[in-house]
């Protein structure tokens, strides 16, 4: 059974930094693109970043480009999101998601999701 578990969320001051992690199990981690999707409290879903399985391609939403960095440690089945220059509108639950397609270099649909980790940016 595929399982994803995010960690690293919490309260951070505006302008601060935070690193989120997502550990995957139940599948060969390096064979799947992975993504981060966030959801502000009471709001809709926003895709923010994707990374192919073997680091061939990286994609970012404009809202986080230059401030956030997605990376992965395949031997340890872990996806990361390094977040910097955090702002109030970055407050959200952050989900990691496994891509639907096996060995896809261009991420497609988000298939399996973790339960999410809440990031609150506030003074």
Q: Is 45 in the site for another protein (CB under 8 A)?
A: yes
> Phi-psi bin for 90: left (phi > 0), alpha (psi -120 to 50), beta?
alpha
Minimum Å distance from CB 61 to another protein? 5
Beta bridge partners of 35: 50, 97
Say whether 96 sits in a helix, a strand or coil: strand
Q: Which of residues 11-40 bind another protein (CB under 8 A)?
A: 37
Instruction: Please count the residues of the chain.
Output: 123
Which of 62, 75, 89, 123 touches another protein by CB under 8 A? 62
Minimum Å distance from CB 24 to another protein? 14
And the tokens for 4? 């994803």
**Chain residues in the site for another protein (CB under 8 A):** 37, 44-47, 50, 59, 61-62, 95, 100, 107-111, 113-116
């Amino acid at each position: 059974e595929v399982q994803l578990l995010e960690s690293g969320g919490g309260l951070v001051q505006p302008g601060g930094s935070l690193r989120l992690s997502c550990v995957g199990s139940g599948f060969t981690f390096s064979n799947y693109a992975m993504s981060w999707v966030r959801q502000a409290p009471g709001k809709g879903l926003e895709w923010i970043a994707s990374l192919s399985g073997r680091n061939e391609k990286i994609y970012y939403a404009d809202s986080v480009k230059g401030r956030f960095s997605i990376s992965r440690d395949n031997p340890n089945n872990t996806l990361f999101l390094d977040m910097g220059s955090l702002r109030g509108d970055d407050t959200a639950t952050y989900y990691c998601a496994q891509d639907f397609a096996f060995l896809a270099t261009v991420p497609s649909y988000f298939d399996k999701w973790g339960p999410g980790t809440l990031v609150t940016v506030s003074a």
